[in-house]
Amino acid sequence: MAEDNWDVREKVQKSLADLTASQYLLLYSDEYNLMSDITANPFEKTLSGGLTLAPRDDSLPSARLSAEGGVNQRPSAALSLSIPVGRQLIDYERRFEKGSTTDTVFGEAGPFSAFYSKINPTNNQYPQETNLGGTMNIGPAELFARRTRSRQEVVDPRYARFFPNPHQDTQEDTIGAHGSLPLGPGMVSGGVDRQFVTSRYPQHISQDARPVYQDPNVTNYRLGWEGPVGPGRLGLQGTLRHVRDVGMEPSLSGLYTIPNPLGLGGQFRATSSYVNPIDGESAAEAMLGYKLRF
């Protein structure tokens, strides 16, 4: 028996009541809602909007088509899909921008997550780039690994016949770990990662193999603490950048804030920093400030 028109109208009214003022119900069914939204930012002179196909059941796929642009912003568009697989989720997005198309896939399974993206330029002015990586959560810590590959034809077309391989390829690998733990009234956080960069250059017909250059490996160490101290909040951060066979670059920074110290709604800030670069002179800085809104 056909559903009564009053029942249908009641369902549509309930669906409309769940939307914000910037959304408009385009389609209603027992499984999906198709909605549109638009947002304008007069200060940044940008406009964005899109269509969203939202399921009523989280076990069903969802989709969104969006676009954005502005006076000082290149127009772009994206098509994204979210596909539930059991209790996990796989996201896919294709983004269209001036000069390139980017495909991205992201997935999660328990403590593991992984992503893959590929940037395809429409001309040789920009390099083709591939990114992939993953993470694994172990209690308060997270292990991660990333790889970035880029390829671009850098030889002038007039001389390409003299190069069996006219491309420049760069591969950057990063592995590391970071995490945080409570310490006293605050939290201590830290991490370490190491970067490996290899570049392969165009091969001339006079060369037996492509020239390969290995950058010095770089190891980064980070340690910090943040928490309440006295009437305010203190944050300390220290980093050490170690470039193999070149040197070390330490840096320290601190921030202390006190909200509303004078009862006027402002904020007191005290900042300090120190850095000792590998190829430069060390420098230190300290500043005191008071921010008040009118």
pLDDT digits over 87-129, tens only? 677 899 999 888 788 999 999 888 899 999 999 888 777 889 9
pLDDT at site 1: 42
Spacing of C-alpha 256 from chain mean position: 28
pLDDT at residue 226 greater than cutoff 90: yes
pLDDT at residue 28 greater than cutoff 60: no
Query: Predicted confidence band at 29 (pLDDT cuts at 50, 70, 90)?
Result: low
Rounded (5°) CA angle 160-166-170: 160
pLDDT at residue 263 greater than cutoff 90: no
Residues 250-276: b if buried by 16+ CB within 10 A, e if exposed = ebebbbbbbeeeeeeebebeeeeeebe
Contact 89, 100 (CB under 8 A): no
The DSSP bridge partners found for residue 85 are 88
Spacing of C-alpha 43 from chain mean position: 24
- Per-residue pLDDT of 141-191, as tens digits, reads 999 999 999 999 999 989 989 999 999 999 999 999 999 999 999 999 999
To which residue do tokens 């009234």 refer? 185
Mean of the per-residue pLDDT values of the chain: 86
Query: Predicted confidence band at 23 (pLDDT cuts at 50, 70, 90)?
Result: very low
**Residue 90 buriedness (CB in 10 A; 0-12 / 13-18 / 19+):** middle
Predicted TM-score of the model (pTM): 0.73
pLDDT at residue 21 greater than cutoff 60: no
